[in-house]
Amino acid sequence: NAGVMQNPRHLVRRRGQEARLRCSPMKGHSHVYWYRQLPEEGLKFMVYLQKENIIDESGMPKERFSAEFPKEGPSILRIQQVVRGDSAAYFCASSPTYTSYEQYFGPGTRLTVT
Amino acid sequence: DAKTTQPNSMESNEEEPVHLPCNHSTISGTDYIHWYRQLPSQGPEYVIHGLTSNVNNRMASLAIAEDRKSSTLILHRATLRDAAVYYCILRDISNNDMRFGAGTRLTVKP
């Protein structure tokens, strides 16, 4: 059973460009979570999605950030008009059910904004 | 959200036990105590969780104080591969997101 996959692993964008980060959850998992980790800090929750629904986006910045988890395909975290402060590692996690105790994390996407 | 307090860093010698403390004085009755660890350049990895009773699994043991205001993650024999940042997290069963703090950076010396 393949683990959570994220791509790309490294992404470089110039200020003002768009960044698209993809997350494929583990097989059978319908719950996806996105976290951001700034250098030398802990992870910060961003958004929790189920298939086709955003359940909790309380950690998402109000502007430029959006997330989706379509019926088919991976979950996408989109950052429009990136700024240097968006440089961070973005981790996705998945779980099989709402009440699952364990979240399985992907290897992360390291975004660098130049 | 209830907060946790952990030491910034700890050191251990290889093959010795390690006790990683966590204070959570504002824990509520429905908060589970979770521990994750993050190895360098990797995503976090689940270690263990508990509610009231002490818990053991193949990776570690979790000792929970009787009043639940603190807990300790115990690695019985530290190896070099256990060097990581260890996060203690409180998670209400009704919420599926987890709020990570700064964690404890564990260094294991050979």
Cα torsion B94, A34, A31, A65 to 10°: value is: 100
The pLDDT assigned to B17 comes to 96
Nearest CB partner across the interface for A105, out of B44, B95, B101: B44
Segment A63-67 shows an average pLDDT of 97
CA separation for the pair B75, A72 (Å, rounded): 41
Q: Are strands B9-13 and B104-109 parallel, antiparallel or unpaired?
A: parallel
Interchain pair B98, A45: CB under 8 A: yes
Chain-chain contact of A42 with B87 (C-beta, under 8 angstroms): yes
- The pLDDT value recorded for residue B21 is 97
Nearest alpha carbon to residue B46 among A23, B95, B12, B55? B55
Question: What whole-number distance in Å separates Cα of residue B103 and Cα of residue B106?
Answer: 9
Average pLDDT over residues A28-40: 91
Residue labelled with tokens 């997101």: B97
Q: Which residues of chain B have pLDDT under 70?
A: 1-2, 96-97
How far does the CA of residue A93 sit from the closest CA of chain B (Å)? 9
pLDDT attached to residue B56: 94
Q: Does B103 touch chain A (CB under 8 A)?
A: yes
Residue A97's pLDDT band (cuts 50, 70, 90): confident
Question: What pLDDT is recorded for position A96?
Answer: 84
Structure tokens at B96: 């599926």
pLDDT of res. A42: 84
- Across chain A, what does the average pLDDT equal? 92
Of residues A43 and A19, more confidently modeled: A19
Instruction: Measure Cα distances from A108 to A23, B63, B78 in Å.
Output: 9, 31, 26
Question: How far apart are alpha carbons B31 and B49 in whole angstroms?
Answer: 11
Sequence-distant (6+) residues with CB within 8 A of A102 are A95, B46, B49
Q: What residues are paired with A65 via a beta bridge?
A: A79
Neighbours of B63 (CB within 10 A): 16
Q: What is the pLDDT of residue B97?
A: 66
- Would you report the helix, strand and coil content of chain B in percent, each value rounded to 5? 5, 50, 50
Pairing of strands A109-113, A10-13: parallel
Size of interface A-B (CB pairs under 8 A): 52
Average pLDDT over residues A18-40: 93
Per CB-CB distance under 8 Å, the chain B contacts of A102 are 46, 49
Query: How confident is residue A99, by pLDDT bands cut at 50, 70 and 90?
Result: low
- pLDDT band for A98, please (50, 70, 90 cuts): low
pLDDT above 70: residue A35: yes
> What is the pLDDT, as a whole number, of residue B100?
84
Q: Which residue of A has its CA nearest to B104?
A: A42
**What does the pLDDT read at residue B93?**
73
A107 and B42: CB-CB below 8 Å?
Answer: yes
